[in-house]
Structure 1
Amino acid sequence: MNSITSTGRLSPAGAVFRHAVLLVTATLMLAPFVWMVLLSIKPPGEIFRASFWPTQFHGVENYTKALTEAPLPRYLGNGLIVCTLILSLQIIVCAPCAYALAKLRFPGRDLLFGMVLIGLLLPQQVLSLPLFILGYQLGILNTYAALVFPYVVSPFGIFLFRQFFKTVPDDVVHAARLDGLSELAIVLRIMLPMALPAIVAFSIFSVVGHWNDLFWPLIAVRDQSLMPPPLGIMAFKNGEAGNDYGPLMAASTLVVLPLVIAFLAAQRWFVEGLTGGAVKQ
């Protein structure tokens, strides 16, 4: 039976099926986070029980231990510093590069864009050894710079901004040039304000990716005072008694919470920024 009516709308059966699929998918995605929050308020004796809701509320103890046993506020502050530096430098570097690929004509432009696409395909782990050697030669290992410099140039950021800049009419750029603006001034005063949805969308991707990054910080830093949140919460591991799961889940909840709040606050611009580059003028 066809699930689409003659008017182009889903039939009732098709709408029910679509919502059922979305509901099941959402449940599967949210279940680990719900379970994490529930474990964060359970006492140690109930961690491995199959009960959904704890019989004894132990949230105050777990969250207090998460904030005091390890310097979790310090880890969160490190994450904020690193993500802010990375995002700021990425926008500063990626926006002019994307503008050049979208609006300027020069030999080798398509080749450079192809290299950007290749960069999108390379996993981070492939470059970890060359980046580690470079960081050692520059003497920046075990510093904030070591956590920032591998991500300053973002192929995804260049691609996303280029796609958005392509939707800006060329007449706008020509008018700005007639007014005497330089190419850099066009990027800063015209293109970036118009690309605010794309900036918000890219910011969500960038902050989430680097806030949750464990692989590179595990290689680049050793000092506990420099550890970002994912690396810092490993301090709850006890070599004799195993993992202290209640405070560990409490710390994980506190680490995830800022990302959830940021996404909920910016979801409208996030969707607009991702779909804006798909509109062809």
Structure 2
Amino acid sequence: MSTPHSQGLSAPSAVMRHCVLLITGALILVPFVWMVSLSIKPPGEIFRASFSFWPQQFYGIENYTRALTEAPLPQYMLNGVFVCTMIVVLQIAVCAPAAYALAKLDFPGKNLLFAMVLIALILPHEVLSLPLFILGYQIGILNTYAALILPFVVSPFGIFLFRQFFKTIPDDVIHAARLDGLSELAIVWRIMVPMALPAIIAFAIFSVVSHWNSLFWPLIAVRDQSLMPPPLGIMAFKNEEAGNDYGPLMAASTIVVAPLIIAFLSAQRWFVEGLTGGAVK
């Protein structure tokens, strides 16, 4: 039971905690707010010394029109949607059975395999870029959608996250399913995956944000403009069309970021639940 003294101590700490969160959130949001501000300003106001969010002359229609018409931005967006969707679907198809095996099955080498997953978690994907590039060249998938998708099918983070969630599901559920005659794969897809839906949504958000914003690997893997995902497309737009005209560039960047913000706000409840653990429904 809390005393008035402890309540008095907790109130300042709560205020301080919220102040730190607000300051941190503001620092994170400043570049995005500045990006939106630049996307509606004419060229003459972008490098003005005095700061103002709203421009004296609204230039948003011109900047966004140029972003959508002078470069195939809709094509870049469709490429991003296709690539991210395929990556998420294939990752779930691979990671869910692997995580189930590590969480609920006993077999030789299980701990070693999980240790390898943990080691893979700390390795940046850029380390594998050269071997993947050589492999992609040898099997002939460079400059195709496959080059953007296949290197990311196995996700150590996805296996780890699903395993941790699957371990919270009681073994009695698994035993009952086996008594009903379900195979191990049927248990994964008919029982474990539906119960782990919050974790899957959280992982899908992480995966989509990561690969939607990816520039390093697409810069290596594709050259055809019709295959470029949004970040690489914006880079090509800057070099070919916009040049140093930052208004259309910021407008294109805003259009690219907007779907991620909408998707996260729509799924934030499941996102938090998926990261904080699971429960038997």
* TM-score bracket relative to the smaller structure: over 0.9
CA contact (8 A) 1:233 1:251 kept: yes
**Aligned match of 1:266:** 267
Counterpart CA distance in 1 for 2:210 and 2:270 is: 18
- The residue type paired with residue 246 of structure 1 is G
**3-state SS in 1 of match to 2:143:** coil
Q: TM-score, normalised by structure 1?
A: 0.94
Structure 1 residue 5: Cα displacement: 6.8
- Residues 98 and 159, structure 1, Cα contact 8 Å, conserved in 2: yes
Answer yes or no: is the 8 Å Cα contact 1:212–1:230 preserved in 2. Answer: yes
Aligned to 1:194: 195
Give per-residue Cα distances to partners, 1:76-99, cap 9 Å, x unaligned: 000000000000000000000000
Corresponding residue of 1:237: 238
TM-fit CA distance, 1:242: 4.0
C-alpha spacing 1:123/1:8, structure 2 compared with 1 (3 Å): farther
Contact 2:242 2:248 in 1 (8 A): no
Deviation at residue 239 of structure 1 after TM alignment:
7.0
Question: 3-state DSSP class of the match of 2:161?
Answer: helix
Deviation digits for residues 233-267 of structure 1 (CA, Å, limit 9, x no counterpart): 11232479842200000000000000000000000
Q: Note if contact 1:211-1:229 (Cα within 8 Å) is conserved in structure 2.
A: yes
Structure 2 equivalent of residue 246 of structure 1: 247
Check 1:103–1:9 CA distance in 2 against 1; reply closer, same or farther (3 A cut).
farther
**Could you report, residue by residue, the CA deviation over 1:14-34 in whole angstroms, capped at 9, with x for unpaired residues?**
122111111100100000000
The secondary structure found in structure 1 opposite 2:108 is coil
Corresponding position of 2:214? 213
**In the aligned structure 1, how far is the partner of 2:72 from the partner of 2:97?**
39
TM value normalised by structure 2:
0.94
User: Residue type matched to 2:72 in 1?
Assistant: P
Q: How does 1:166-185 map to 2 (within 5 A)?
A: 166-185=167-186
Q: 1:208 to 1:13 in 2, by over 3 A?
A: same
Change (3 A) 1:249 1:10: farther
- Contact 1:5–1:11 at 8 Å: present in 2 too? no
The 1:18/1:221 distance shift into structure 2, 3 A limit, reads: same
Instruction: Assess if the C-alpha contact under 8 Å between 1:116 and 1:159 holds in 2.
Output: yes
What root-mean-square deviation, in Å, do the aligned CA atoms of Structure 1 and Structure 2 show?
A: 1.7
Gaps of 5+ in 2: none
In the alignment, what sits opposite 1:13?
A: 12
Residues 8 and 152 (structure 1), Cα distance of their counterparts in 2 relative to 1, 3 Å cut: farther
Q: Percent identity?
A: 78
In 1, the alpha carbon distance for the partners of 2:163 and 2:242 equals: 52
Question: 1:8 Cα shift?
Answer: 7.4
Higher helix share: 2
Rounded to whole Å, the distance in 2 between the matches of 1:240 and 1:200 is 37
CA 1:57–1:104: 2 relative to 1, 3 Å: same
Q: Given the superposition, is the C-alpha separation of residues 98 and 62 from structure 1 closer, same or farther in structure 2, using an over 3 Å criterion?
A: same
Q: CA deviation at 1:51?
A: 2.5
- Segments of 5+ residues of structure 1 without an aligned counterpart are none
1:13 CA displacement: 1.5
Alpha carbons of structure 1 residues 146 and 240: separation in structure 2 relative to 1, 3 Å: closer
Letter in 2 for 1:40: S
Aligned equivalents of 2:258 and 2:241: distance in 1?
Answer: 30
Shift of the 242–168 alpha-carbon distance from structure 1 to 2, 3 Å rule, reads same
Residue 11 of structure 1, CA deviation? 2.3
The 3 A distance-change label for structure 1 pair 99 and 47 is same
Match of residue 126 from structure 2:
125
Separation in 2, partners of 1:192, 1:111: 24
TM-superposed deviation, 1:69: 0.4
Q: Does 1:107 align with 2:108?
A: yes
CA distance in 2, matches of 1:231, 1:19: 37
State whether structure 2 residue 162 is matched by structure 1 residue 154.
Answer: no
1:65 paired with 2:66, answer: yes
Distance (whole Å) between structure 2 residues aligned to residue 117 and residue 172 of structure 1: 27
Question: What code does the residue aligned with 1:156 have?
Answer: F
Asked if the contact 2:242/2:249 (under 8 Å) is kept, the reply is no
Indicate the residue corresponding to 2:24 in structure 1: 25
Residue by residue over 1:187-235, the C-alpha shift from the partner in whole angstroms, topping out at 9 and shown as x without a partner, is 0000000000000000000000000000000000000000000000112
CA–CA separation in structure 2 for the residues paired with 1:162 and 1:9? 42
